[in-house]
Structure 1
Amino acid sequence: MPKLVRLYIVNVAIGFGLSALFLGVLLGLDVAGLRHLILHTDMGWLAGLMIFVFSGSIFAGVQFGIAVMGMADRDDTPRGGLRQHAAPVPVRVAAPARKRR
């Protein structure tokens, strides 16, 4: 299996694990009455499933983005900012004389 595919699968699993934890915290703290909605209504399981899937897709995407950005090589070469080596050079520009009104 290619490394990038394995990295994606691992990060999606982490994201959905975080989503399950997030849903557990929402139910445990009964935020906005969600525990009653999910556990005591006929279609509450659908609301719980939707929270799990949608927050899981968000968490998985963020987790994968963080992992990919963390793979970047460090660039320790100096980038700009070397103005102490440059000497200012005066540039003379002839401007046409303005007429006063």
Structure 2
Amino acid sequence: MPKLIKLYITQVLIGFAISAAFVAALLSFNVANMWHLVTHSDIGWLAVLILWLANGVVFSGVQFAITIMRMAGKDDDDHGGKRDDIPLRVLEPIRVESTDRS
């Protein structure tokens, strides 16, 4: 299996684990009376499942993006091209007459 695929799967698993902890914290702290709503409803488990999946997708994407961005190396070389001074004659203003009289 390619290294990038292994990295992606690892980050997705970490993201869904973070999502599980987040949903557990939401329920345990009873944010917006969520514990009562989930436990006193017939399909409360579905709400928890959708909340976990939706947050898992978000947290996985963020986890993968952070990992990829941290892989970038710092370039000490100057790859920006030639940086010569701009001659002053290039920056002289030019008078332009307007022909529109409205």
Find the counterpart in structure 2 of residue 19 from structure 1: 19
For 2:94 and 2:37, the matched residues in 1 are separated by 78
Find the counterpart in structure 2 of residue 69 from structure 1: 69
Comparing 71-80 with 37-46, greater Cα deviation is found at 71-80
Measured against aligned partners, the alpha-carbon deviations of 1:23-64 in whole angstroms (never above 9, x if no partner) come to: 011001101011111122110000000000000000001111
Q: What displacement does 1:95 show?
A: 6.1
| 1:1-101 to 2 correspondences below 5 Å | 1-78=1-78, 79=80, 86=85, 88-90=87-89
TM-score by length of 1: 0.78
Which residues of structure 1 form unaligned runs of 5+? Answer: 97-101
Q: Would you identify which runs of 4 or more consecutive aligned residues in structure 1 move more than 3 Å?
A: 85-96
Cα gap change, 1:46 to 1:88, in 2 (>3 Å):
same
What's the % identity of the aligned pairs? 45
TM-score by length of 2: 0.77
Q: CA RMSD in A?
A: 2.8
Which residues of structure 2 form unaligned runs of 5+? Answer: 97-102
Number of corresponding residues: 95
